[in-house]
Structure 1
Amino acid sequence: MIKRKKDKFSEMLMDIAQNIKDSAEFLGSFELQNVSDLKEFANVLKAYESKGDKYVHTVITELNKAFITPIEREDILQLAMSMDDVLDGIDSFAALMEIHSITTFDEYVAEFVKNIQGCAEEILITINLLSEKKLLQISEHAIKIKEYESHCDTLYRRALKQLFATCKDPIKVIQYKEIYETLEEIADYCQTVANNLESVIMKNA
């Protein structure tokens, strides 16, 4: 059978989702060893974020020109913008690491990153299913994204409790609290993507 070509909006959303996955993979794989590595770390993740901005701009431009869209144009825009928020969050995290000259992931940051990578993987799967119009299969993956977000909520509370109980340096407390908050926000942005996908399912399945 001839495989039907994806419409241009599906291709655009896939580009954004793939960029999120690539960004999350780099986030977890780059080995920080010293302060000088932080610049490269932040610059590469900024490049992913900038690429994402260009993808979203293209989506907006094409939506303004399109007469017919595969799903409601507002849903396409919301999906694109919510995925872009994930990239913005990852970029913000990398910037904070550089600003605070933190060169190692503690156990909590490492676990946050693993959950964010899980979200990124599921987002790519869901957007691919959307492009193939397999709407009813999206739900199980949207649920997985929400489970990762729930894990991050629990992790955030554990991390703060440990931080306040053991760290005596007020500057370090402020720095790590900000980092944990940013990571938890990234998970929240992933959940928003899942919520937007569920809204699409309700309208179109």
Structure 2
Amino acid sequence: MAESSRWFSLLLVPEHDHHELDARSLRGLAHPLRVRILGSLRTDGPSTATRLAELFGQRSGTTSWHLRQLAEHGFVEQDPERGNRRERWWRAARRETELRPEKFGGDPELGPVLSSLLHEVAAVHHRRTAEYVSALNEWPREWCAASELSDWVLSLSPRELARFTAEARQLVKRYSRDPESGDEQVLVQLQAFPRGGAAE
């Protein structure tokens, strides 16, 4: 969207094109297959339950049910420009999902739901990184030289970390353009969180 399956939205799209999770929609999305289906529809474009079933090794009845659940919560919608009575096509309703974990982390009912969603998002990030590393020899040298897989440990206060992530969002925004530009889609992952245990 470039890479559009952002779970922590960088708010790079118009307001009408992003969805901020509330308690209801958090519950509606917090399933590993739903996260993957929504990510696929955003990254790869519209699809059918049958095609998604093949992609994820599921039965089409399973993907169809999850698509209806995603639609009920406003994440996907039918694509009126494709399909017919026998074949229903689905597309992402919005390009970004905004998650504010601080809204749900202290809630005894929603805390486990939030944790489930974030674990799947982390798993998606891991799978994408592993796919890149596995295919590294297939990329031209210029792409390998331009890519980055690094981490740094910084000593920051919460205020400094908030400023750091805000500046990173602005940098990504500066380079964002229409996915239809014809350029290669580049996946950018920013992971910035406290290294130790939970602070008192």
Q: TM-score range by the shorter chain?
A: 0.3 to 0.5
Q: Higher strand proportion, which one?
A: 2
The alignment's TM-score, normalised by the length of structure 2, stands at 0.33
The alignment's TM-score, normalised by the length of structure 1, stands at 0.32
Q: Higher helix proportion, which one?
A: 1
